[in-house]
């Protein structure tokens, strides 16, 4: 077990060593890639002077409102499309038209409509994350076995009971998988929207530090964002497995 963990993290350790040595021996230009120790020191001072916190919390708020609203709206829309052919006929051309669109292309439109504040960022995240949630909820709800619905009805369940007690739990495995995709997209759009404009957030911090030439600190924020994305996915995966214990 111990060997296993060691081998698993060996590539990361090697990368860290390489990152430290390469700029020091001037294999790469240290002004373009500062040594890892300098990045770590910059990270520590960003943490101490509070820049990481204030911007991190600002990002976290936009991220949770954006992702949260996409999950709620996406599940509702996807399930309603599966439930009613009329809603499906109206909504599915829109969904299909939005599907191939590069999500970051929405950001300038949202800025035009909603301004430079938090609103445009939240809306960009929500719209980008909406599609994987809608599609997974739609497929999940349509995939619920007809005989499962009939069994519930024969037990005396109303249509509303069927929706909450059969369709939604039946669609849950698909919905949770769709939300995982949405989480990945949410980080991309969050940082992209903050890079573009704004005075707050981790993406803003990256562009501010980059423009000011403080590259060690810039790299420190880039690593922070990557780590947050990684741990968010890990935590989500853990939550998903816990929720779906009933499968095999």
Partner 1 sequence: MAGSGIVFGAVTHTYRPLRGRPVLALDGVSLEVKEREFVALLGPSGCGKSTLLYLLGGFLPIESGSITVNSKPVTQPGPDRGIVFQNYSLFPWKTVKQNVLYGLEKQRMPKAERERRAQELIELVHLKGFEDSYPSQLSGGMKQRVAIARTLAIDPETLLMDEPFGALDAQTRTLMHEELLAIMQRSPKTVVFVTHDVREAVYLADRVAVMTARPGRIKEIVDTRPASGSRANYLQAPEFTAKVDYLWNLVRDEAIRAQEDHG
Task: Measure Cα distances from 38 to 10, 20, 34, 128 in Å.
Answer: 22, 9, 6, 36
* Binding of partner 1 by 22 (CB under 8 A): no
Phi and psi torsions of 144, nearest 5°: -65, 130
Instruction: Tell me the closest approach of the beta carbon of residue 201 to partner 1, in angstroms.
Output: 38
Question: Between 25 and 245, whose beta carbon lies closer to partner 1?
Answer: 245
Helices 106-114 and 168-196: angle between axes, nearest 10 degrees: 80
Distance CA 127, CA 63 (A): 12
Binding mask 170-189 for partner 1 (x = CB under 8 A): x-x-----------------
* Binding of partner 1 by 246 (CB under 8 A): yes
Binding mask 129-158 for partner 1 (x = CB under 8 A): ----------------x-xx-xxxxxxxx-
CB-neighbour burial class of residue 142 (10 A; exposed 0-12, middle 13-18, buried 19+): middle
* Binding of partner 1 by 102 (CB under 8 A): no
* Binding of partner 1 by 169 (CB under 8 A): yes
Element (H, E) at 63: helix 51-83
* Binding of partner 1 by 245 (CB under 8 A): yes
Contacting positions for partner 1 (CB under 8 A): 145, 147-148, 150-157, 161, 165-166, 169-170, 172, 245-248
């Amino acid at each position: 077990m111990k060997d296993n963990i060691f081998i698993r993290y060996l590539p990361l350790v090697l990368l860290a060593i390489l990152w430290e040595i390469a700029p020091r021996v001037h294999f790469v230009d240290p002004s373009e890639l500062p040594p890892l120790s300098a990045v770590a020191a910059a990270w520590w001072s960003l943490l101490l002077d509070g820049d990481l916190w204030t911007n991190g919390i600002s990002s976290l708020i936009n991220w949770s409102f954006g992702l949260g609203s996409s999950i709620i709206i996406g599940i509702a829309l996807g399930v309603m499309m599966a439930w009613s052919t009329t809603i499906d006929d109206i909504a599915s051309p829109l969904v299909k038209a939005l599907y191939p669109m590069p999500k970051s292309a929405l950001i300038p439109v949202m800025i035009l409509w909603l301004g430079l504040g938090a609103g445009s960022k939240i809306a960009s995240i929500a719209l980008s994350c909406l599609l994987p949630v809608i599609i997974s909820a739609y497929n999940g709800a349509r995939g619920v076995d007809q005989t499962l619905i009939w069994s519930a009805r024969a037990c005396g369940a109303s249509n509303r009971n069927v929706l909450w007690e059969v369709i939604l739990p039946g669609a849950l495995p698909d919905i949770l998988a769709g939300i995982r995709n949405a989480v990945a997209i949410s980080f991309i759009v969050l940082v992209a929207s903050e890079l573009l404009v704004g005075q707050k957030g981790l993406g803003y911090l990256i562009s501010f530090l980059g423009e000011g030439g403080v590259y060690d600190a810039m790299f420190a924020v880039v690593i922070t964002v990557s780590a947050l994305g990684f741990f968010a996915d890990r935590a989500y995966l853990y939550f998903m497995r816990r929720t779906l214990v009933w499968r095999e």
